[in-house]
Structure 1
Amino acid sequence: MATTAQNDFFKSNVLGHPAGLFVLFFTEMWERFSYYGMRALLILFFTTSLTDARPGWGWPQDHAYALFGSYTALVYLSTMIGGYFADKLIGYRWAVIVGAFLMTMGHASMAVETPFFIYLGLTLLVFGTGFFKPNMTSIISEMYKDRPEKKDGAYTIFYMGVNAGAFFGILLCGYLGEKVGWSIGFGLAGIFMLFGLLQFYFSQNIFGTIGLSPKMAEKLALANSDAMEINTNIASEEDVNKKEVADKRVPFAPWQLVIIAVCSLLGLVWVINDPASKISYGKVNFFKWGDTDYSNAAILTALVLFFILLIYRIVQYSYVTRQKMLAVTFFATLTFCFFAVFEQAPGTLTMFANNYTDRVLTGNASLIFLVVNSLIAVVPLAIITWVLYMLFRQTFKNYALANIFLGLSFVIIWCITIWMLVKDFYSAGYLELSDSTLMALKIDKVLNPLTEIPATWFNVLNSLFIITLAPLFSKWWESKYNPSANAKFGIGMILLGLGMGFVAYGGKDIVPGATTASVSLFWLVFVYLFHTMGELCISPVGLSYVSKLVPGRMIAFMFGVWYLAIAIANKVAGIIGESSTDIAKEEGIGNFFFIITIVAIAVGVISIVLNKPIKKLMHGVR
């Protein structure tokens, strides 16, 4: 019965996959549009001068990095809460709906631009992403549980939706935020999150019984079960028990739960307190007692307790499981190192683009950029619109309202894209428009034609390069030259370091303390090219190794450790960004990136050198 229900998804398909996958594709696309669109603007908004033509908050860069690092860390930590509520209480579907609603309200709040609403918006976005992010992939997993041979293709398509959303979010929200107004950029992100919510809500029945609340799913399972299915399930459970009976189980003792609670509380309060104490210049500090600040002591205590508990639990397991968990811990450490550097993109790299990069183009350079920018905007949008048409053909009859909302969102996105391109060609002097047309399009008349690339634009290169290079890397992994796990992580870290090396070299002549410079934009292009290749070596394969190395009953716990590593990495990325201001003043911004280059390459070399011992810990898992 269950298998039949799963196969029903494939009766109505798009490009060989269930139409429901593409409902998730577009919902995730708009969620990533909103997240990355806002993310690209945030630090620029905080640091832009109060006297600028589009005034920001005029914060010091270190304050902005501190808040941004805490925000991104909390986004990853909140996925544990969202996953728990979905598994135990409301189901995947309502978790997605609740998350999308919270994010919509979060973006709407940020569009107001006052301190209260900015902080409220960030809080809503943290919890919204926590509910949304882990449960979309859970729905896909359920859809394909009886078609494992098609699961890789499904996740590839879904991942394209992720990158398409990130690409257009950065391109359009970044452009509107920088060129028109911050609130427009923040608000646009919320509008498309709302479209994603409405599309998902009105088409959710396409998923059948998948993603319902645990109680509802249990009732339906009891109503539809038959003896053959029950016997099959019992047999499979017995097989699993036989396989794992020899593996020592280590339940959490009460004292271990207490340590987890203490670590969680200390870590959470510290992540919130760190930017609060800096922004308020010490007026708000939860760890200050008298004249002494215990912030560093608190977080070090939490980290030490966590590692003691992790080591204690690992040594309690059977020999093989213990060694595999050590391998996972090693890879989680490398992932932490990777994201601590990779997440400089919305921070120090965006500020480098804003302050130190020559982004003003004239003559042939201007024309070439405008043509290339038009192609990279219109061609992907046309392809995705074609996929939208294919989905309409399969689902419009049964889910008309969902399709209308989805279609309306694409009409708006096309209008904004065409408006942006027309405005750029006019501003560069390659297009003549009458006064009435300028007024209708709300485009200001320009006196000195030129093209200025938005500082946020460079972030779109990551998504563009992923879409371009992912098939090549996929072929590499499937070939006889497929590197070992350690080699992939090592190559990824070395590519990451080399990417930073380009901007380090480009900024070598910027004198210490300089606030502006005119470095060639091509150094940043190379940064994102190499960083994307590094990401393709690490990000897609990391969780795969967790699922292969860890027994099924422990996957949830180790996934938690994995996401904790990424959360800490995001916060450390903010801390690294804070140090950039002092290093730039004393030694020059080029030296800051050079230090990161050396560290990243060194970590990559260490990973490759440790290939044999880590391979032994994996016990044949590839």
Structure 2
Amino acid sequence: MASDTPVERRPPGGRTFFGHPRALSTLFLTEMWERFSFYGMRAILVLYLTASAADAGLGLRESTANAVYGTYNAMVYLMALPGGWVADRLLGARRSVLWGGVVIACGHYVMAIPTGWSVFAGMTLIVLGTGLLKPNISTMVGGLYDRDSPRRDAGFSIFYMGINLGAFIAPLICGFLGEKINWHLGFGAAAIGMTFGVIQYVLGRRNLGDAGDRPADPLLGADRRRALHRIAIGVVVLLLVLAALALAGLFTVNTVVNLLTAAIVVITVGYFARILVDREISDTERSRMKAYLWLFVFAAAFWMIYDQAGSVLNIFAADRTDRDVFGFTFPASWLQAVNPILIIIGAPLAAALWLKLGHRVSTPVKFAVGLILNGLSFVLMAAAAKLAVGGDLVSPWWLVAVYAVQVAGELSLSPVGLSATSKLAPVKYASQMMGLWFLATAVGDAIGGQVARLAETWAAPTYFLTFGLASVVLGLAAVMAARHIRRLMAGIH
């Protein structure tokens, strides 16, 4: 009898990738180069936006740049929802990943053009391409394992190490080129990285077998034509709205950022409501979705703080840290490489830990640990900010310590969340559910971008301490709710 869960694939001859299916290596390297491009550009984005015209930047206010950064990150993850739908209904995960990589590369090449408009045009393309690539490559990783296999968390942790290998190299290269030579040269280096990723994916497709080869629930005939027609109408309406804003003189950075933030929250509420009332999912699947809603809220709160590393903490690194080493002032963006290198070191340890613990530590408890550690990192950041009051420069080791605490929290939550999403997903929403997981990051980043505006007006110690303690309290609440959430998960650990 056929099974609705995938078989763990081992290629002929028993070749594996760190003891896992060989296909994981192709997906690992593709994601590594995609994250190189993403984090390379991200490392210098806020610094470029806030740099003066004399320094070849756009000269935006710090609060506006923080909001743009947060909204850009949010849109990258929001587009994972339609990207998952495209894979499920039209292209399949494999082709979605390919086309997503091509569009991302084009976006970075556009950003390399030395004009002001190119940055926003390029970011738009990157948002669209990442929406196609990001959820579907993760879905393909999940498809390599049985649904409740204890090896699944370990596999996602190894995949997560690939993400962070690209994220570690990127700021060192793109950051140096951008800050020391030319901003757009840094953006160009990110484009080359994504190009490598696309080439590697095409050459390694033989390892994938039939993973992601076909849409899970394809649209055919009239249904397909109707869907494409609606998409075309939606694009036209969006263009008309943008044109109306421009004619009314409202097409400003702040207006667009605020509208996108509101749209992300509304879409999130609507999407959860749609799944929960869908009569085609079973009662067990609905219960698991209720459990997932709890995890979603915890994850959004986590990313609201965590992803300020590229905005508020990046500006702190540029303005308030002593970066002089033997007469050389290293780029502020280089500190963005600390987080991923710590994850590279910690990911195998986390993978081994989750494999050893098995089902003894539940997913909700792992999320709670992530929230508490994330909050403590901002409490530590408050102490660093206190030392910098009055214009004194602090040691960059403060930021290294902050990132170390955050990494411990991330390894407790993020790869575990990827795995939990693929386990709790209703069959009908397989790829779209991975998009829903990334929507948690979108909500966190969108709200975090608005919250980060306060960093310009609040005293820095107050800002960090307030949101750090709030995360700790939420983490403690997650511990108290863990037993209830596990019941809702209906047998999934």
TM range (shorter): 0.7 to 0.9
Aligned to 1:245: none
Aligned to 2:380: 502
1:507 alignment partner AA = A
Aligned to 1:283: 250
Residues in 2 aligned to 1:147 and 1:323: alpha-carbon distance in whole angstroms: 17
Aligned to 2:472: 601
Alignment of 1:127-276 (within 5 A): 127-143=128-144, 154-213=155-214
| Residue aligned with 2:201, SS | helix
Q: CA deviation at 1:485?
A: 3.1
Do 2:379 and 2:465's aligned partners in 1 also have CA atoms closer than 8 Å? yes
Residues in 2 aligned to 1:176 and 1:165: alpha-carbon distance in whole angstroms: 16
Per-residue deviation, residues 224-244 of structure 1 (Å, max 9, x unmatched):
xxxxxxxxxxxxxxxxxxxxx
Residues in 1 aligned to 2:262 and 2:60: alpha-carbon distance in whole angstroms: 27
1:581 alignment partner AA = E
Aligned to 1:473: 350
Do 1:6 and 1:146's aligned partners in 2 also have CA atoms closer than 8 Å? no
Aligned to 1:611: 482
Alignment of 1:119-130 (within 5 A): 119-130=120-131
Aligned to 1:108: 109
| Residue aligned with 1:51, SS | helix
Residues in 1 aligned to 2:147 and 2:477: alpha-carbon distance in whole angstroms: 40
Residues in 2 aligned to 1:27 and 1:98: alpha-carbon distance in whole angstroms: 13
Q: CA deviation at 1:91?
A: 3.0
| Residue aligned with 2:54, SS | coil
Do 2:371 and 2:474's aligned partners in 1 also have CA atoms closer than 8 Å? yes
The structure 1 residue matched to 2:447, chosen from 572, 575, 580, is 572
Tell me if 1:327 matches 2:330.
no
Residues in 2 aligned to 1:144 and 1:472: alpha-carbon distance in whole angstroms: 20
Tell me if 1:589 matches 2:460.
yes
Do 1:333 and 1:565's aligned partners in 2 also have CA atoms closer than 8 Å? yes
The structure 1 residue matched to 2:332, chosen from 455, 465, 472, is 455
Tell me if 1:529 matches 2:404.
yes
1:565 alignment partner AA = A
Q: CA deviation at 1:545?
A: 3.0
Residues in 2 aligned to 1:325 and 1:295: alpha-carbon distance in whole angstroms: 28
Do 2:264 and 2:443's aligned partners in 1 also have CA atoms closer than 8 Å? no
Residues in 2 aligned to 1:98 and 1:296: alpha-carbon distance in whole angstroms: 25
Aligned to 1:483: 361
Inter-CA distance 149–326: structure 2 relative to 1 (3 Å threshold) = closer
Per-residue deviation, residues 62-121 of structure 1 (Å, max 9, x unmatched):
221222222111111222222233333333333222112111111111111312221221
1:543 alignment partner AA = L
Do 1:20 and 1:207's aligned partners in 2 also have CA atoms closer than 8 Å? yes
| Residue aligned with 2:386, SS | coil
2:420 alignment partner AA = Y
- Greater gyration radius: 1
Q: Percent identity?
A: 34
1:596 alignment partner AA = F
Q: CA deviation at 1:499?
A: 0.7
Residues in 2 aligned to 1:59 and 1:508: alpha-carbon distance in whole angstroms: 26
Instruction: Report which structure shows greater RCO (CA 8 Å, sep ≥6).
Output: 2
2:321 alignment partner AA = T
Tell me if 1:25 matches 2:49.
no
Inter-CA distance 552–296: structure 2 relative to 1 (3 Å threshold) = closer
State which drifts further: 597-606 or 316-325.
316-325
Aligned to 1:492: 370
2:40 alignment partner AA = G
Q: CA deviation at 1:480?
A: 8.1
Residue ranges of structure 1 left out of the alignment (5+ in a row) = 218-256, 289-293, 363-449
Residues in 1 aligned to 2:485 and 2:151: alpha-carbon distance in whole angstroms: 30
Per-residue deviation, residues 168-203 of structure 1 (Å, max 9, x unmatched):
012221122112221121111111211221232234
Do 1:35 and 1:189's aligned partners in 2 also have CA atoms closer than 8 Å? yes
TM-score, scaled relative to structure 2? 0.82
Aligned to 1:543: 418
The structure 2 residue matched to 1:352, chosen from 305, 312, 316, is 316
Residues in 1 aligned to 2:269 and 2:359: alpha-carbon distance in whole angstroms: 41
Aligned to 2:223: none
Q: CA-atom RMSD, angstroms?
A: 4.0
1:337 alignment partner AA = A
2:24 alignment partner AA = L
2:176 alignment partner AA = Y
The structure 2 residue matched to 1:343, chosen from 281, 293, 307, is 307
